[in-house]
Amino acid sequence: MKKILTIVVPMYNTEKYLKRCIDSLVYDEKIVDLLEIIIVNDGSKDNSLNIAKEYEKKFNGTVIVIDKENGGHGSTINEGLKVATGKYFRVLDSDDWVNITDFSKFVCELKHLDVDLILTNYSRELIFSGEQIKVNYPEKIEYNHIYDLNKFNYDMLDGKYFYMATSTYKTQILKDIKLYLDEKTYYVDMEYNIFPITNISSFIYLDYDIYRYFIGRKDQSISAKSFVRNRKDHEKVIKRLLQFLDNAKLNANKKKYVVGIILQLLNTHYSIYCNTLIDDKSLRKVMKKEIKEFDFYLKNKYADIYNQALESYERIRFNSKTKFRYAVKSNYWLMKIALKFERKKKVNR
Partner 1 sequence: MKKVLVISWFFPPINSSEGLVTFKLLKNSRLKYDVFTQKKSKNWAYNDNENKLISKNVSPIFSKCENPSEWIADGVKFFEDNKDKYDVIMTRSMAPESHEIGLIIKKNNPNVKWIASFGDPIANNPFEVLTAEKSPYEVKGQGIENFSLKYIFSIKRVLKNLYWKYRYNKCKHMQKNRDLEKQVLMLADRIILNSEEQKEYMLQGYSKEIADKVVVLPHTFDEDFYNYDLDNDNKKIVMSYIGHCDDIRTPKNLFDAIQRLKEEDINLSKKLEVNFYGNLSVYDKAKIIDNRITDIVNVNKPVSYFESLNIMRKSNWLILIDANLGKIMDKNIFFAAKVADYLGSRRPILGISMLDGPSAKILRETNNILSTFSADEIYMHLKMILEKKYCVGEYDNSKFDAKKVAKDFDKMVNELL
Question: Which residues in this chain contact partner 1 in the complex, by CB under 8 A?
Answer: 16-17, 20, 23-24, 27, 97, 99-101, 123, 125, 127-130, 132, 212, 214, 216, 218, 333
| Number of Cβ atoms within 10 Å of the Cβ of 260 | 18
Left (φ > 0), alpha (ψ -120 to 50) or beta: where does 34 sit?
alpha
Contacts 24+ apart (CB under 8 A), 310-315: 312/263, 312/267, 313/263, 313/266, 313/267, 313/270, 314/339, 315/267, 315/270, 315/271, 315/274, 315/275
Instruction: Identify whether the C-beta of residue 41 lies closer than 8 Å to the C-beta of residue 9.
Output: no
Which is closer to partner 1, CB of 51 or CB of 241? 51
Distance in angstroms (rounded) separating the CA atoms of residues 53 and 51: 5
229/168 Cα distance (integer angstroms): 30
Q: Which residues of 319-332 are buried (b: 16+ CB within 10 A; e: fewer)?
A: bbebebebbbbbee
Closest to 193 (Cα-Cα) out of 93, 261, 110: 261
Q: Cα dist. 166→89, 136, 205, 208, 311 in Å?
A: 12, 9, 9, 10, 29
For 133, the 3-state DSSP assignment is strand
Between residues 109 and 290, which has the closer beta carbon with respect to partner 1?
A: 109
Nearest distance in Å: CB 192, partner 1: 24
Closer by beta carbon to partner 1, 248 or else 338: 338
CB of 126 to partner 1, least distance (A): 8
Most distant pair of Cα atoms in the chain: their distance: 75
Q: Which is nearer to partner 1, 14 or 319 (CB)?
A: 14
Q: How many helices (H) and strands (E) does the chain have?
A: 14, 10
Beta bridge partners of 65: 39
- Least separation in angstroms between residue 166's CB and partner 1 is 17
Q: Which is nearer to partner 1, 134 or 151 (CB)?
A: 134
DSSP 155: G
d(CA 241, CA 275): 23
Pick the closer one to partner 1 by CB: 20 or 236: 20
Closer CB to partner 1, residue 23 or residue 293? 23
3-state SS, residue 179: coil
Nearer to partner 1, 47 or 150 (CB): 47
Least distance to partner 1, CB of residue 209, Å: 9
> Which of residues 62 and 171 has its CB atom nearest to partner 1 in the complex?
62
